[in-house]
Chain A
Amino acid sequence: MATVDPIAELRTAGIPVDDLTEAQRDALRELSPAEVAVLIDISRRLADAEPDVVAHTEAVGGLFF
């Protein structure tokens, strides 16, 4: 079975892995195929999102626990 390279898969999907530090890339090399799939899906959703949103830092707020 061919070995999958998570970094190559993320790069192909347009995720800017080359902007990361080597330590960060090391962490991403350990991604499971399932994690890679979700990250790529998230990346596509980000690319599809409406581009006209102004990223006000005060408007940043996700959910809470």
Chain B
Amino acid sequence: MTGAGAALRTKLELAIPLVHGAAARLWQAPHPHESFRRYLAAMHTVVRASVPLMETAVQRCATLSSDPLGPPLRDYLRRHIREERGHDAWVRADLEALAAGASAVVDGIPPPSVAAMVGAQYYWILHHHPVCVLGYIAVLEGYPPAPSLAGYIAERTGCPDTALRTLRAHATLDVQHGAAVYRLLDTLELSPARQAEVGLSALHTVRSAARVLTEIRGLSSRKGRPADGHC
């Protein structure tokens, strides 16, 4: 891998331990079942935004008439929309498998940390340049759950295997999808300024993702207290 993809990997390797540390603290914390339920609920709020986010970026590409990044970015996003469509339903099904009625939690207002992470992408797509979304995708798909995480959670929570289907699927799918986005970055002719914009989007995503995981851990530790109003 050479080019913008390789450069982004270098930046992220310095940052991604923040997410890994937050994940380790989450999965080692007390109340693992509650942590997993809240994790799935938060993931639903992230995943249900993936296709709409990319559709928004595709629409913005159509306005970039003289920008050579527009066509290859649009083509990649259109392909990826097809690959990602319906995954929010997978997460909802996993929540139901965890406990009947558990998926109702996703009807609550999404956590502020998720709004900050995903919302930044909408802002950059709409008010700056849609290429920024590649930084977001590069983090979420470039550093997916470890293949062994599902087994670790099953051991800690005793949850049924049917509640782990999305986690298991993404441990595989996101490796392939992550490779695709880095390949795209390596082939796009990104100016140094555009590379820095994708990098900033990615680093912001890292910081926000760690906050999402930390927030879940904090809420899970309050198990037994009255409902907090969001998932």
Contacts and interface: CB of A to CB of B under 8 A. Distances in A.
Given A38-B200, A50-B25, A57-B146, A64 B43 contact: yes
Contact of A64 (B145, B193, B196, B213): B145
B212 interface: yes
A2 to B, nearest CB: 19
B203 interface: yes
Contact of A65 (B28, B47, B192): B47
A65 B23 contact: no
A42 B18 contact: yes
Nearest to B6: A27
Nearest to A57: B146
Interface string A15-47: 100001001100110111011001101110110
Contact of B192 (A30, A42, A46): A30
Contacts, number: 137
Interface extent on A, as a size class? Answer: 20 to 34
Majority secondary structure, B binding face: helix
Interface of B: 6-7, 10-11, 14-25, 27-28, 43, 46-47, 50, 84, 137, 139-141, 143-146, 148-149, 151-152, 166-167, 170-171, 174, 177, 192-193, 195-196, 199-200, 203-204, 206-207, 209-210, 212-213
A27 B11 contact: yes
Contacts of B11: 27-28, 31, 35, 39
